[in-house]
Structure 1
Amino acid sequence: MTEENKHVEESTVTEETAVEETVVESEEETVDETIEQTETDAKKDELAELKAANAALEDRALRLQAEISNMQRTNARDRQNAAKYRSQSLATNLLEVVDNFERALTTEVTSDDALTLKKGIEMVHGQLLSALEREKVTMIDPLNEPFDPNFHQAVSTMPAEEGQATDVVVNVLQKGYQLDDRVIRPAMVIVSA
């Protein structure tokens, strides 16, 4: 082998080695780029997951705040109603007493002792009505007013007299009462038909 052939052979080997090294370096760079791309994609996926979890937590926090606010409003309204209608049970129980006083006052008396007793009953009846009014319990006495099923309970009807409108209260059998805007006992009435 001549020097020249040796040189050519070495040159060929060197070129082949250089080409192989370039291919290996190129493959290593591709692998490195792939690894970097995979790591970047993994970080992007993790970031997207964290953002989605954060958005879900923020939504849940807003919903819980709204629920707490609704509960507070409901609780405040319930407390106001409890204070507003605290007298309802007592007033309902006392209405029978008022009815009995009114029945007693319709009795005709002639003796002085009976008149004195009736006067005492009138005073107690007045005090009881005043106490109920202070608690915002008011009487529903709908005589000659249009029938309203929200405030009246019709127990009977009567034919309307000439010139009289229909659906008008013509007789009150039992007065009704309301506490503020709540009816605690509707008036029992007879209505014209």
Structure 2
Amino acid sequence: MTTPPFVPQPGEPHVPPPPEPAEPPQDPRPGPVAEPGPDPAPAPPATAPGPDPFAVVADAVDGMRDELAALGDQFRRRLLNDREARRSLDGLLTELDHTRKAAEGRIVQPLLYDLVLLVDRVERQAAQGDAFAGSVAAELLALLEKYGMTRIPVTRGPFNPDMQEAVGAIAALSPEQSGEIAEVVRHGYRMDERVVRPQQVRVYNDR
């Protein structure tokens, strides 16, 4: 800042102004260049709010519920398929059993019936005292039973038209005896519950 020159007023003594301070000489050499400092650290971004833990658990439970429902549906479908397969298998087995019995009726039964006629002849021979014929008759009966044909047992009692055939009558000794079986003329045979040949009998009659 430059001081204005001093101008003496009339009647005042002349006092020279104080010298202005000299400015220090400037160094013509360039000074050190200030290096740029590190960039200031960026401000941390605003922290977003975290997921709600209750919502996470609810989503997980919903996923498990859906998965269990899908497994339940799959199990029910497989169970229904197994039931249908079992029903089909049972039907097939029943049909095969019927076919087997029908085949036995067409093929095996006539053969067994011929064996029954053979047993009749052999037993008549055994009744005359032929021991060999008796043993043959026993073997034939065992063979018949092996294929399911059994002899109708000889019983005393009322006449049964479901398993017996009346071929004669004998005078009853008392009224209570009328209608009862007197004697078996020819043996009968059956396969399971089906009568193949009825038992021929004579029945008591009071007339």
**TM-score calculated relative to the size of structure 1:** 0.51
1:81 lines up with 2:93 in the alignment? no
After superposition, residues 140-155 of structure 1 pair within 5 angstroms as 140-155=152-167
1:136 lines up with 2:148 in the alignment? yes
Match of 1:120 among 132, 135, 142: 132
- Give the aligned partner of residue 14 of structure 1: none
Unaligned runs of 5+ in 1: 1-68, 109-117
1:171 lines up with 2:171 in the alignment? no
Question: In structure 2, what is the Cα distance between the partners aligned to 1:121 and 1:156?
Answer: 28
Question: In structure 1, what is the Cα distance between the partners aligned to 2:138 and 2:194?
Answer: 23
1:91 lines up with 2:117 in the alignment? no
> For structure 1, which segment, 142-151 or 180-189, has the greater mean C-alpha deviation from structure 2 after superposition?
142-151
Which protein has the bigger helix share? 1
Q: Deviations over 1:81-137 (max 9, x none)?
A: 2266453111111111100111001114xxxxxxxxx33222211111111111121
| Amino acid across the alignment from 2:147 | E
Query: What's the C-alpha RMSD, in Å, of the aligned pairs?
Result: 2.6
| Amino acid across the alignment from 2:110 | S
Deviation, 1:73, is 8.9
Match of 2:170 among 129, 142, 158: 158
Contact 2:126–2:132 at 8 Å: present in 1 too? no
Task: Give the 3-state SS of the residue equivalent to 1:147 in structure 2.
Answer: coil
Contact 2:123–2:133 at 8 Å: present in 1 too? no
Task: Give the 3-state SS of the residue equivalent to 2:161 in structure 1.
Answer: coil
Question: In structure 1, what is the Cα distance between the partners aligned to 2:200 and 2:191?
Answer: 17
- Tell which structure's C-alpha radius of gyration is larger: 2
- Give the aligned partner of residue 180 of structure 1: 192
1:146–1:84 Cα change, 3 Å: farther
Deviation, 1:145, is 2.7
1:164–1:144 Cα change, 3 Å: farther
Question: In structure 2, what is the Cα distance between the partners aligned to 1:130 and 1:73?
Answer: 29
| Amino acid across the alignment from 2:112 | A
Task: Give the 3-state SS of the residue equivalent to 1:87 in structure 2.
Answer: helix
Query: Taking every aligned residue pair, what percent have the same amino acid on both sides?
Result: 30
| Amino acid across the alignment from 2:123 | E
Q: Which has the higher contact order (CA 8 A, sep 6+)?
A: 1
**TM-score calculated relative to the size of structure 2:** 0.48
Match of 1:103 among 124, 146, 150: 124
Contact 1:141–1:187 at 8 Å: present in 2 too? no
Unaligned runs of 5+ in 2: 1-87
| Amino acid across the alignment from 1:102 | E
